[in-house]
Amino acid sequence: MDSGQSASFQLLLVDDETDFRSTLTKRLSRRGINAHQAESGETAIDFLVTHPMDVVVLDVKMPGMDGMETLRHIKQRYPQTEVILLTGHTATRDGIEGIKAGAFDYLSKPVEFEHLLEKIKQAFEKKQRTEERRLEAEYKAHIEQQMIATERLAALGTLAAGVAHEINNPLAIINEASGYLSSLLEKPELADIPRKEQMGRAVEKIQKGVKRARAITHQLLGSVRKPEPVLVHMHPNDLVDESIQLVSKEAKDKEISITRESAKDVRAVWINANQIRQILINLIANAIHATAPNGQITISIKKREPNGITLVVQDTGKGIPKENLDKIFEPFFSDKPPGQGTGLGLFVTKEIVDKLDGSIKVDSRVGEGTTMTVHIPIQHLESQRQRGDDVGHQ
């Protein structure tokens, strides 16, 4: 066995003969293997509770709990530990019985040292192979799970966007018709119709429902209010300021201060303003919702080498419990009261970030706050493309 293996290699020697144990331990140590010792089956069982072993070399003939019983205990509680039995020189039956009970192999006493060393090495290698196979199977299962989840989410995203698009038209019709109804109810000739008030309330309910449904379809479709060219030349600071402005009312009401910090070397870039704006609005809105009155939100902009920018939205809010960290990017996950959050903000944000080949990372501590870090690669356009070329330049 080489020393690299023996560094993390755990071996226990169980034998009631003190001399045999210490001689063997010394010889093993000269070969770079540090063996632990136990003088009885009972001591070995106790020792294993706190010290998991790779290999146990176990004498069969011991007073008290004998080797066979000890072996059964070990294999029952620690099936991954390999056991080599040392039997009396005529006790082949013990050896065979031992193998049936799960022993790796048996050697008859007196043992030939090199032979034992070879067996220990084989037992350790078997243990390692089993462990590797277990880890591999675990990893494979994990990756498969992840792939299923990712595919399901991607399919769901496409489907959701399609549904949102289809729903927008009937939604517009309902909106218009309910608007028409409410304007009719204002007309003097309908001033005295029966149940006018109830009708008014019903129309109001319809309009509220439409508003909520629209919030969902807008999130899913990327809420493009005015058509803009795909890329505009813009300083990220301006984009951040604009996004802060769009969600500032709620922050003002809660007296939350929003600060923008920008590294000096951040320059104007060609950027998809619509998409980045939607990312920022979703993140800042979440930060505002999570932060108590008088809290603080900081948005930092940094350059990211070799070509990109980093946007960090940091709040002093309630934080996200560990068990929710995996869920917050799932569609419709929300801790807001029914009717208040769509649970689509981060799902859509992640979709956009993925589309831009960027990344999003969340760091959060319950009771302290949350930091969302978004990296976005910036495309380099050919040099002849001047700022003024683009109609969307602002």
Ligand X SMILES: Nc1ncnc2c1ncn2[C@@H]1O[C@H](COP(=O)(O)OP(=O)(O)OP(=O)(O)O)[C@@H](O)[C@H]1O
CA distance 170 to 163: 12
Task: Give which of Mg ion, ligand X, none residue 317 binds (C-beta under 5 to 8 Å, depending on kind).
Answer: ligand X
Residue from the set 104, 106, 124, 347 that interacts with ligand X by CB under 6 A: 347
Residue from the set 13, 24, 346, 360 that interacts with ligand X by CB under 6 A: 346
In one-letter notation, the amino acid at residue 379 is: Q
How many residues belong to the chain?
A: 394
Residue from the set 178, 286, 300, 364 that interacts with Mg ion by CB under 5 A: 286
Binding segment for ligand X (CB under 6 A), chosen from 130-138, 248-256, 329-337, 385-393, is: 329-337
Q: Which stretches does DSSP call E strand in the chain?
A: 11-14, 35-38, 55-59, 82-87, 105-108, 232-234, 257-262, 269-271, 296-304, 308-315, 359-365, 369-377
CA distance 182 to 207: 10
Relative to beta strand 232-234, strand 82-87 is: unpaired
Site string for ligand X, 357-386 (x = CB under 6 A): -------------x----------------
Binding segment for ligand X (CB under 6 A), chosen from 27-35, 142-150, 227-235, 314-322, is: 314-322
In the bound complex, what is the minimum distance in angstroms from residue 286's beta carbon to Mg ion? 4
Tokens coding 267: 């320059």
Residues numbered 261-300 forming contacts with ligand X, rule: CB under 6 A = 282, 286-287, 290
- Which residue number, 261 or 368, has a Cβ lying nearer to ligand X? 368
Bond from prior residue into 229 cis (ω within 30 degrees of 0): no
DSSP string, 173-228: HHHHHHHHHHHHHHSGGGTT-TTHHHHHHHHHHHHHHHHHHHHHHHHHHT---S--
373 C-beta neighbours (distance < 10 Å), count: 17
CA distance 349 to 374: 10
DSSP string, 287-302: HHHHSPTT-EEEEEEE
Residue from the set 41, 98, 317, 358 that interacts with ligand X by CB under 6 A: 317
Residues numbered 333-362 forming contacts with Mg ion, rule: CB under 5 A = 345
In the bound complex, what is the minimum distance in angstroms from residue 212's beta carbon to ligand X? 10
- 200 binds ligand X per the rule CB under 6 A: no
How many residues touch ligand X under the rule CB under 6 A: the total is: 22
- 343 binds ligand X per the rule CB under 6 A: yes
Task: Give which of Mg ion, ligand X, none residue 347 binds (C-beta under 5 to 8 Å, depending on kind).
Answer: ligand X
Biggest CA–CA distance in the chain, Å, is: 115
Task: Give which of ligand X, Mg ion, none residue 344 binds (C-beta under 5 to 8 Å, depending on kind).
Answer: ligand X
Residues numbered 92-151 forming contacts with Mg ion, rule: CB under 5 A = none
Residue nearest to Mg ion (CB): 345
Bond from prior residue into 63 cis (ω within 30 degrees of 0): no
Task: Give which of ligand X, Mg ion, none residue 178 binds (C-beta under 5 to 8 Å, depending on kind).
Answer: none
In the bound complex, what is the minimum distance in angstroms from residue 2's beta carbon to ligand X? 51
Q: Which residues are near ligand X by CB under 6 A?
A: 282, 286-287, 290, 315, 317-320, 328, 333-336, 341-347, 370
Interface residues with Mg ion (CB under 5 A) are 286, 345
